[in-house]
Amino acid sequence: MDKLDLKGKWNEWKGKIKQEYADWTDDDLKYEEGKDEELLGRIQQKLGKTREDVVNWLNNLG
């Protein structure tokens, strides 16, 4: 499974996600340091995908 560097790239990814999914709120995309898994879980729920799919999707955004 790919690794994900949320801390370093999150603001860039957040902007791209909001362009693609305009109905997502700031709460859906809220990043708190140390809570990476919680954020990934929210994204998984919204997309209906596996964790691995979400990680790959995010890595491909950047």
Is residue 53 predicted with pLDDT exceeding 90? yes
pLDDT-derived band of residue 1, with 50, 70 and 90 as boundaries? very low
The model's pTM:
0.82
The CA-atom distances, in angstroms, between 13 and each of 1, 51 are 19, 16
pLDDT, tens digit (0-9, with 9 covering 90-100), for 10-43: 888 999 999 999 999 999 999 998 898 999 999 9
Quote the pLDDT of residue 3.
64
Q: Is the pLDDT of residue 60 over 50?
A: yes
Q: What CA–CA distance (Å, rounded) separates 32 from 29?
A: 10
Q: What's residue 18's pLDDT?
A: 93
